[in-house]
A and B are shown apart, each in its own frame.
Chain A
């Protein structure tokens, strides 16, 4: 039984964000629906990651804009919780989740209202136009001990909802260069008229 189920919209936004800025690192957060207070707190059901918010493509290390972004996300997505973090590293060969991203993820994990949180690292080498595989690597923090290091999750722990359809959609989006219309929080700060929730892109992806 997998611990997480990632919806195609989330996968698409992560990969499009990485493709929009191939020369720099990008990051963002993962969203899942908040559990209703009367539902039983069953940690056996997979957590559904239904959406992501692309955050920055420059200065990922700096705190103030991250704080502003997280506050806006919490205020806008009232029925959703931030359950994870994703990052695509700058260098092609760099597949390390450590660094500032790990610190941000630890904070998110500490404040996550759901029983588990996820760190998704984009596998830069695996991104290609044919989209034969989902180019993502999954990590989670070890609960035991003070070290709080990240441990890699096997691919079986994270399922992609309707994987074949997702790959086909992703291939279409890359061919159409749909990443040009993706707006991350950095773009929003440069021009606040741009919609960082990417509602139009989400409609396109769903259809």
Chain B
């Protein structure tokens, strides 16, 4: 019967309403008067764009059972489908006051806030997720991206730290490596009074390390592609990967000309230590 449920939901996703109806009929026969089946009926109504009727069913289900989290979440989905993001956010926030450990809901709320360009609140949602699961590199990386997008000097510093943490948790996370390269580059060339030359040099070293990591990954990917493809395309993929490798190194070197010029010994040191961990911040 679990299979019937999965086929029903997949059929709704693909727009195959006849198949969905067939599954729903079987499920309702097997489980009469079931709340779960009622929810599926409401989802069926959502699929045909009859959002008012679906909303009615979800509201009734919530009134009869205050602990019904799934129908509340479907209500948020209906509001989102109608384009009413502000109401969806309000509904989801009140849901999270009752069910504060629902991580999917926090992630969804973060996305809703991002669509409204409310970066501070989106970052708050990611902070809740990081607190719940501090070893998940994707949460750190997403938090860092939000901080980077905010654009202030303090948030850029934070972005740099969180990208570095994401890289430490998963050295193969390309988004975190690119993010670290860009954020450290921005910190290194920051003209803000609060950044000292020592911290700018540190950021420059970090950017160069990140660039070297990116370059190494692209070279590895380029040579792997070369083994499995014909000679024509292997040339182009090699060229593409070496293009990115040189671009990454150029980016890191031009991000802080003063730091690079003043501290000529540091680039060579960075390259002699191909450590898998980033330098300690």
Interface size on B, residues (CB 8 A): 35
Within 8 A of A (CB), among B153-186: 159, 174-175, 178-179, 181-183
Nearest to A188 among chain B residues (CB) is B174
**Segment touching A, from B59-67, B239-247, B260-268:** B239-247
A100 near B243 with CB under 8 A, answer no
B217 near A59 with CB under 8 A, answer no
B81 near A91 with CB under 8 A, answer yes
A91 near B217 with CB under 8 A, answer no
Interface: A1 (CB within 8 A): no
Shortest CB distance A186–B (Å): 9
Interface: A65 (CB within 8 A): yes
A59 near B145 with CB under 8 A, answer yes
Range, interface on chain A: 20 to 34
Shortest CB distance B142–A (Å): 7
Rounded to whole angstroms, the CA-CA distance of A91 and B217 in the bound complex is 36
A64 near B240 with CB under 8 A, answer no
* Neighbour of A99 across the interface among B115, B144, B146, CB < 8 A: B115
Contacts of A64 in B (CB 8 A): 144-145, 148-149, 159, 175, 178-179, 182-183
Q: Given contacts A67-B182, A68-B178, A193-B221, is CB(A62)–CB(B145) below 8 Å?
A: yes
* Neighbour of A91 across the interface among B83, B148, B224, CB < 8 A: B83
Instruction: Produce 1/0 per residue, A60-84, CB < 8 A to B.
Output: 0111110110011001100000000
Contacts of B145 in A (CB 8 A): 59, 62-65
A62 near B149 with CB under 8 A, answer yes
Interface: A197 (CB within 8 A): yes
Instruction: Produce 1/0 per residue, B114-126, CB < 8 A to A.
Output: 1101000000000
Interface: B237 (CB within 8 A): yes
Rounded to whole angstroms, the CA-CA distance of A202 and B82 in the bound complex is 36
* Total number of residue pairs linking A and B with CB closer than 8 Å: 71
Q: Given contacts A93-B83, A195-B240, A199-B236, is CB(A65)–CB(B178) below 8 Å?
A: yes
Interface: B37 (CB within 8 A): no
Rounded to whole angstroms, the CA-CA distance of A195 and B174 in the bound complex is 15
Rounded to whole angstroms, the CA-CA distance of A59 and B243 in the bound complex is 26
B247 near A71 with CB under 8 A, answer yes
Interface: B251 (CB within 8 A): yes
Contacts of A67 in B (CB 8 A): 182
Nearest to A63 among chain B residues (CB) is B149
Contacts of A62 in B (CB 8 A): 114, 142, 145-146, 148-149
Rounded to whole angstroms, the CA-CA distance of A193 and B243 in the bound complex is 14
Shortest CB distance A148–B (Å): 17
Instruction: Produce 1/0 per residue, B212-226, CB < 8 A to A.
Output: 000001100100110
A76 near B81 with CB under 8 A, answer no
Interface: A144 (CB within 8 A): no
Q: Given contacts A193-B224, A199-B236, is CB(A71)–CB(B251) below 8 Å?
A: yes
B174 near A63 with CB under 8 A, answer no
Shortest CB distance B111–A (Å): 8
A100 near B117 with CB under 8 A, answer yes
Binding site for B on A (CB under 8 A): 23, 59, 61-65, 67-68, 71-72, 75-76, 91, 93-94, 99-100, 189-190, 192-193, 195, 197, 199-200
In the A-B complex, the 10 residue pairs with the smallest Cβ-Cβ separation, listed nearest first, are: A63-B149, A62-B145, A68-B178, A64-B179, A192-B221, A64-B148, A61-B114, A193-B221, A75-B247, A189-B174
A-B contact pairs, 25 of them (CB 8 A): A59-B145, A61-B115, A61-B149, A62-B146, A63-B145, A63-B148, A63-B151, A64-B144, A65-B179, A68-B179, A68-B182, A71-B251, A72-B244, A75-B243, A75-B244, A75-B247, A76-B240, A76-B243, A94-B83, A189-B174, A189-B175, A192-B218, A195-B237, A197-B240, A199-B236
Beyond A190-B174, A193-B225, 4 extra complex contacts between A and B, CB < 8 Å: A59-B114, A63-B151, A64-B144, A195-B237
